[in-house]
């Protein structure tokens, strides 16, 4: 069962749903899509819930779908898996058997405001116990930054207006140790025997140590060849605790490595792998999982729903080992207000190095008021100096520079 839900659905995903006629929950969002001309195989909500309860695999294009699943589905295994992933405190408790030394603490906003920062082990991260695309996530490096950070977090949670309570919690938070090392995002599923199947691995780069944005993710044959086998082994061991079956998720991890070591090499030691969070029933958000289609010709959700495994040896043999494929979120400009527009042509010029490269796969305009972001480019990253300039652009832009005021 496919649950098509807002805030955004890509043409790549909709094309597949039309061509495959895969059963799709007939919710309000899907009906809006069909009203605009798409021919989807819509299933009555009661029938969809019964099919999921009977064991049919389910994929959601957005975590906004979790609210419907939790309210209508009765499959205890599926509900347990969702809650384990979505409740980050529950995730941390499950991971305690795998990551024995990691610090975390669960708090309400009132408790955050009352904490003596002198009692905390800095640096650390504070974030909602349930969250989405880094919303409300803050790195706090030292005790003197604590009060200002918590006041900012309180303002953010008061003003949130895009994501429902099943996606972002307003009064349950986690304080956890800051994980150093290279960050990666993994799209994977667990088959009926609990075996993990890796569908994509994305390196997540940041502009500096304090950055928590989603500006730049990229994948490549080198990343898949080096990381996928180690991640498969790691998740197979972790699943002795998780007990996931016929279930998909998007994992965010950090890999500790020596200062001069290629982070990919550090995957060889499972002790270097630390989970940041597990996101249930979906892959990379805002349909970002489509980067796998541009990079490897793989629609990740189609593989999961059909219980297919990528033949990575064949897939990667057909592709350049030096090229990468990237994506990133242009967040809502801080100065955004009603009547403003986004300069998409200027963004395209940045990604393509002012037209020097023919590397733009797709530029997805988004509505900051309803979709939580301004733009989502997907693009090729060549080797060498030009690739570095593309990455530097994605990491270094100021969202206000692409704002057109009327």
Averaged over successive runs of 10 residues, the pLDDT of the chain (406 residues) comes to: 95 98 98 98 98 98 95 98 90 83 86 94 88 73 94 82 48 86 96 98 91 92 94 94 97 92 87 90 96 97 98 92 91 90 96 97 92 93 96 94 88
The pair of three-digit structure tokens given for residue 242, joined into one six-digit string = 């998780």
pTM of the model: 0.86
* Residue 104 confidence (pLDDT): 85
Q: What is the pLDDT of residue 161?
A: 47
Q: Phi and psi (nearest 5°) for 377?
A: -85, 145
Tell me which residue has tokens 């006041």: 151
* DSSP assigned state of 13: H
What is the Cα–Cα distance from 209 to 226, expressed in whole angstroms?
A: 25
Q: Buried (b) or exposed (e) across 183-222, using 16+ Cβ within 10 A? A: bbbbbbbbbeebebbbbbbbbbbbeeeeeebbbbbbbbbb
* pLDDT at res. 160: 52
Q: E-strand spans in 154-304?
A: 173-177, 182-190, 196-205, 216-219, 247-255, 273-280
Question: CB–CB of 88/102 below 8 Å?
Answer: no
């Amino acid at each position: 069962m496919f649950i098509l839900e807002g805030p955004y659905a890509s043409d790549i995903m909709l094309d597949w749903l039309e061509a495959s006629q895969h059963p799709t929950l007939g919710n309000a969002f899907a009906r809006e899509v069909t009203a605009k001309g798409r021919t989807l195989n819509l299933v009555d909500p009661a029938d969809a819930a019964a099919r999921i309860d009977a064991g049919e695999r389910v994929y959601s294009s957005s975590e906004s779908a979790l609210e419907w699943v939790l309210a209508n589905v009765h499959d205890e295994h599926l509900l347990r898996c969702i809650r384990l992933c979505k409740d980050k405190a529950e995730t941390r408790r499950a991971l305690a058997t795998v990551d024995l030394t990691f610090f975390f603490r669960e708090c309400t906003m009132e408790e955050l405001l009352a904490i003596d920062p002198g009692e905390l082990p800095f640096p650390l991260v504070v974030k909602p116990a349930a969250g989405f695309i880094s919303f409300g996530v803050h790195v706090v490096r030292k005790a003197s930054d604590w009060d200002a950070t918590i006041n900012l977090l309180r303002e953010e949670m008061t003003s949130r207006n895009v994501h429902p309570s099943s996606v972002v919690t307003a009064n349950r938070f986690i304080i956890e140790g800051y994980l150093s090392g290279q960050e990666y995002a993994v799209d994977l599923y667990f088959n009926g025997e609990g075996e993990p199947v890796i569908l994509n691995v994305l390196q997540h780069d940041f502009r500096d140590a304090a950055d928590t944005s989603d500006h730049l993710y990229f994948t490549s044959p080198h990343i898949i060849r080096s990381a996928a086998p180690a991640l498969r082994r790691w998740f197979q061991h972790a699943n002795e605790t998780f007990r996931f079956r016929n279930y998909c998720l998007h994992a965010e991890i950090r890999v500790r490595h020596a200062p001069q070591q290629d982070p990919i090499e550090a995957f060889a030691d499972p002790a270097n792998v630390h989970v940041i969070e597990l996101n249930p029933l979906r892959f990379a958000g805002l349909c970002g999982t489509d980067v796998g289609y541009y990079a490897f010709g793989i629609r990740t959700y189609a593989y999961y729903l059909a219980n297919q495994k990528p033949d990575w040896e064949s897939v990667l043999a057909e592709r350049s080992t030096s090229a990468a494929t990237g994506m990133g979120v242009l967040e809502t400009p801080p100065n955004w207000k009603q009547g403003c527009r986004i300069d998409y042509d200027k963004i395209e010029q940045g990604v393509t190095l002012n037209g020097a490269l023919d590397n733009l796969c797709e530029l997805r305009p988004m509505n900051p008021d309803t979709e939580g972001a301004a733009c989502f480019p997907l693009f090729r990253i060549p080797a060498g100096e030009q690739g570095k300039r593309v990455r530097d652009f994605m990491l270094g832009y100021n969202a206000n520079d692409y704002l057109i005021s009327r």
